Amino acid sequence: MWLLGLPWALALLVTMASSGPSADPPDPASIFADLSPEELRAVRTFLMGRPELGLSPSQGGHLAKNSLFLVELLPPKKRSALRFLEHVGARPRREARAIIFFGAQAEPNITELAVGPLPRPSSYRVLGFKGRRYGSRVHSHLLGNIHTHLVHYKVDLDVAGEGSHAGPVLPRGWREERGVTWARYHLAVTRRHENEPSSSSIYTQNDPWDPPVTFENFIRDNETIEDQDLVAWVTVGFLHVPHAEDIPNTATPGNAVGFFLRPFNFFNEDPSGASRAPVIVRPLDPPSCSRLEIRRWTPPSPGACVHPEPFTYNGTYRLV
């Protein structure tokens, strides 16, 4: 199950890719790992050195400049990732997605670039253009809007190979709603397409009337989903009625949404029978159950689970 702490912000959360350890360890799953600080720096250095981009430092100065807004992993295409994981293909080229704000021109725009290969980038290509027309009382004089927090998950799971032959794994409105049409459906299932990586876009808030991604188009295309590589899109959320204790900061403990991915006729029987660390509790004197027989196959004392040093955290785990 996924648990999310929800901050005090009217933010639309887009789907997130899984992250893993950095660097380039032999673990094949590292093709999905977030960019390491070294890779982030290499992309920044490479792009800052391209004269045609005319990039200025992001910090300080005015808005009418070209600057690098964001660098993150550009996940490999599914086909090449699977071929690599199945040992029939080469390791996919590792690339970054970079978002550039071109502000130093008469018609400013935002452009997304694919930059690679990492860790030593030598070229980039344009990914897309936007990734032009952007434009209950909680205190004496403060109102908190009642609002909904919705989170959309993209579930792209290969169960025993591509084309899920096992059973399924299951868990409207204003003009501005076009950008969040995924919120209409608790669960939607579509064919997987490389050009439908996420149900929303970080640019939607700039033009919710004509958003770059409209989820409704993913499902209104009359495509059959039988015996296909499928993606499940799951919406979970809750209504937030703001109260005085939300100000200035909404405490997140206790706020949780999530869902379970459970097999459906995938196993022939209850798979917990194969559990390697079972604890069996049997009442010795039913029905009062005042005495229990507890059999465990784990060590009686698993050792200390609290770290002897006090926990400290300065806001980052490594220098970026």
Ligand X SMILES: *[C@@H]1O[C@H](CO)[C@@H](O)[C@H](O)[C@H]1NC(C)=O
Binding site for ligand X (CB under 6 A): 102, 105, 109, 111, 129, 220-222, 314, 316-319
Q: Which does 317 bind (CB under 5 to 8 A by kind): Cu ion, ligand X, none?
A: ligand X
CB of 216 to ligand X, least distance (A): 11
Burial of residue 4 (CB within 10 Å: 0-12, 13-18, 19+) is middle
**Share in percent of the chain as helix, strand, coil (round to 5):** 15, 20, 60
Shortest gap between Cβ of 255 and Cu ion (angstroms)?
Answer: 9
Q: CB under 5 to 8 A by kind: which of Cu ion, ligand X, none does 301 bind? A: none
Nearer to ligand X, 54 or 278 (CB): 54
- CB-wise, 5 or 263, nearer to Cu ion? 5
| 144, 179 Cβ separation under 8 angstroms | no
SS3 204: helix
Q: How many CA atoms lie within 13 A of 45 on its CB side?
A: 11
Kindly give the pairing relationship between strand 55-56 and strand 66-74.
parallel
- Rounded CA-CA distance 132/110 in Å is 8
Q: Is 2 helix (H, G, I), strand (E, B) or coil?
A: coil
Quick one: 152 or 240, whose CB is closer to Cu ion? Answer: 240
- Choose between 44 and 240: whose C-beta lies nearer to Cu ion: 240
Closer to Cu ion by Cβ: residue 216 or 246: 246
Shortest separation between residue 61's beta carbon and ligand X, angstroms: 18
Look at the block and give the residue holding tokens 């950095």: 22
Q: How far apart are CA 24 and CA 30, in angstroms?
A: 7
Partner interacting with residue 240 (select from Cu ion, ligand X, none; CB below 5-8 Å by kind): Cu ion
CB of 104 to ligand X, least distance (A): 8
Beta bridge partners of 56: 67
Question: Would the CA dihedral through 35, 190, 205, 6 be positive or negative?
Answer: negative
205 binds, among ligand X, Cu ion, none (CB under 5 to 8 A by kind): none
CB of 250 to Cu ion, least distance (A): 6
Point out which residues bind Cu ion (CB under 5 A).
240
Give me the least distance between CB of 176 and Cu ion, in Å please. Answer: 18
> Is-contact 43 71, C-beta < 8 A?
yes
Q: Which residue, 101 or 182, has its beta carbon nearer to ligand X?
A: 101
